[in-house]
C-alpha cells in the first residue's frame, strides 16, 4: 500500500465504551507536519465531523502525567510535534438530561401512570461476533415473541438468517454493525447494556432495568473482556450442579433471559399476590397447587 503523501499535523484516536484503543477510530488532521496546537473544543469539533454525537457523549483524554483518563477541557491547548502526533480519546455517556422543575415525586407519579403494556419496558438483544446463522434466526424469532423492540449483530460471521422461518424481519427490525464502535454510537440512549455471560449475577436474582440492551457473546469466544467492563450489568444462567458446564447455546440463552424478563415484569405482581395469600380456596397452600382460574379470582378479590 502506498503511503499517504499528505502531511499530518495531528492524529485523534477515539473509542466508544467496550472498545480497545487498537480498534479505535482515527481522525487525521492535516497540516505542515511541524509543531501544531489544538484546543479541546476544536478536538470535539473534529470528532463531531467524524460522526460523534457531542450531546450524547462526553470526551476524555489520556493524561500521561497522571496516567489516567481526564475530562477534555474546551479551552485547554494540546501541542503536537514529531515526538507526539497522537491524542488518545475515550467517549463516555453524557449525563441524562432532566427537567429542572421535575422533582422525584413528579417523576414517580408520572411513571406510575404507565399503561399495563408499558410494564414491558423498552429492550433489545443481540450477539457480538456470532458465527451461526441458525442461532441468529432462532434468537430473532424468540425476541419478537417476547416483546423486543429490536435485535442486532456486531461483527457477524454469517451472511443470512434462513432459520427465521416466520419472516420476523417484517415485524422486528434487526441491525447489523460492523464493529462495536458502530454499535455503541447507535445504541439507544438511556438503555443500559446487560452482558449475558458466565460469571455474572444469577438470573434468578437479577432485576431487569426498565430499558435495556442485552448483549450476548459468540458461540466459541463469548464476550470480550472490554465489552464486559463497559456493561452496566452482568447476568448469567444457573446450572443444575457445579460439575456441569454453564456454557449454553447462545439462542437458548437469549430466549431464557428475555422470558425471565417478561415473567418478572408482567407476571410478578400476580405471582407475588398468590404467594402472599399462601392458600387458595379449593387447593393446597402454595402456587404449585393453584389453577389459573383460582389465581385470577384471588387477584380480583385482593
CATH code, domain carrying 166: 3.40.1280.10
Is there a single domain that holds both residue 155 and residue 224? yes
- Distance of CA 195 to CAs 19, 139, 208, 285, Å? 14, 16, 12, 38
* pTM value surpassing 0.85: no
Residue of 27, 74, 72, 67 lying closest to 46 (CA atoms)? 27
Residue 269: is its pLDDT beyond 90?
Answer: no
Residue 287: is its pLDDT beyond 80?
Answer: no
What is the C-alpha separation between 168 and 165, in angstroms, rounded? 8
Residue 74: alpha-carbon gap to chain centroid? 29
Which is higher by pLDDT, 120 or 217? 217
Which CATH number fits the domain that encloses residue 48? 3.10.20.90
Is there a single domain that holds both residue 141 and residue 197? yes
Would 108 be classed as within a structural domain? no
Is there a single domain that holds both residue 84 and residue 214? no
Which is higher by pLDDT, 117 or 16? 16
Is there a single domain that holds both residue 47 and residue 77? yes
Would 99 be classed as within a structural domain? no
Would 111 be classed as within a structural domain? no
What is the C-alpha separation between 48 and 77, in angstroms, rounded? 18
Residue-level pLDDT at 61? 95
The residue behind cell 465489552 is: 227
Which is higher by pLDDT, 71 or 160? 71
Would 106 be classed as within a structural domain? no
φ/ψ of residue 209, rounded to 5: -65, 155
Would 2 be classed as within a structural domain? no
Would 109 be classed as within a structural domain? no
Is there a single domain that holds both residue 215 and residue 73? no
Is there a single domain that holds both residue 169 and residue 296? no
Is there a single domain that holds both residue 74 and residue 28? yes
Number of independent structural domains in the chain: 3
Is there a single domain that holds both residue 45 and residue 162? no
Would 103 be classed as within a structural domain? no
Is there a single domain that holds both residue 278 and residue 257? no
Residue-level pLDDT at 281? 42
Query: pLDDT band for position 295 (50/70/90)?
Result: very low
Residue 292: is its pLDDT beyond 50?
Answer: no
Q: Is 210 helix (H, G, I), strand (E, B) or coil?
A: coil
Is there a single domain that holds both residue 205 and residue 275? no
Is there a single domain that holds both residue 124 and residue 248? yes
Domain that holds residue 282: 269-301
Q: What is the DSSP letter of 288?
A: G
Residue 204: is its pLDDT beyond 60?
Answer: yes
Residue of 118, 124, 46, 120 lying closest to 89 (CA atoms)? 46
Residue 293: is its pLDDT beyond 50?
Answer: no
Would 169 be classed as within a structural domain? yes
Residue 285: alpha-carbon gap to chain centroid? 41
Contact 43, 49 (CB under 8 A): no
Domain C-terminal end among 93, 108, 130: 93
What is the C-alpha separation between 266 and 248, in angstroms, rounded? 25
Q: How many CB atoms lie within 10 A of CB 256?
A: 16
Domain C-terminal end among 93, 124, 140: 93
Is there a single domain that holds both residue 164 and residue 192? yes
Amino acid at each position: 500500500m502506498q503511503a499517504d503523501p499528505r502531511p499530518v499535523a495531528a492524529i485523534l484516536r477515539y473509542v466508544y465504551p467496550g472498545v480497545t484503543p487498537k480498534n479505535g477510530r482515527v481522525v487525521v488532521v492535516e497540516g505542515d507536519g511541524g509543531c501544531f496546537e489544538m484546543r479541546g473544543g476544536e478536538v470535539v469539533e473534529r470528532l463531531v465531523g467524524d460522526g460523534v454525537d457531542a450531546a450524547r457523549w462526553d470526551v476524555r483524554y489520556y493524561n500521561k502525567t497522571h496516567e489516567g483518563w481526564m475530562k477534555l477541557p474546551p479551552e485547554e491547548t494540546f501541542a503536537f510535534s514529531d515526538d507526539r502526533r497522537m491524542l488518545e480519546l475515550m467517549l463516555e455517556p453524557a449525563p441524562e438530561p432532566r427537567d429542572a422543575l421535575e422533582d422525584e415525586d413528579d417523576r414517580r407519579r408520572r411513571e406510575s401512570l404507565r399503561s399495563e403494556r408499558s410494564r414491558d419496558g423498552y429492550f433489545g438483544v443481540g450477539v457480538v461476533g456470532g458465527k451461526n446463522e441458525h442461532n441468529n434466526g432462532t434468537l430473532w424469532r424468540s425476541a419478537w415473541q417476547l416483546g423486543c423492540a429490536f435485535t442486532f449483530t456486531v461483527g457477524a460471521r454469517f451472511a443470512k438468517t434462513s432459520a427465521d422461518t416466520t419472516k420476523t424481519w417484517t415485524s422486528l427490525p434487526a441491525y447489523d454493525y460492523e464493529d462495536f464502535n458502530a454499535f455503541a454510537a447507535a445504541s439507544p440512549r438511556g438503555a443500559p447494556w446487560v452482558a449475558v455471560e458466565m460469571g455474572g449475577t444469577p438470573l434468578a436474582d437479577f432485576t431487569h432495568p426498565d430499558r435495556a440492551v442485552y448483549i450476548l457473546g459468540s458461540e466459541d469466544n463469548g464476550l470480550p473482556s472490554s465489552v464486559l467492563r463497559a456493561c452496566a450489568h452482568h447476568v448469567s444462567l444457573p446450572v443444575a450442579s457445579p460439575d456441569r458446564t454453564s456454557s449454553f447455546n447462545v439462542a437458548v440463552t437469549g430466549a431464557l433471559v428475555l422470558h425471565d424478563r417478561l415473567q418478572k415484569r408482567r407476571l410478578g405482581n400476580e405471582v407475588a399476590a398468590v404467594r402472599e395469600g399462601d392458600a387458595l380456596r379449593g387447593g393446597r397452600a402454595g402456587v404449585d397447587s393453584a389453577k389459573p382460574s383460582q389465581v385470577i379470582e384471588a387477584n380480583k378479590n385482593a
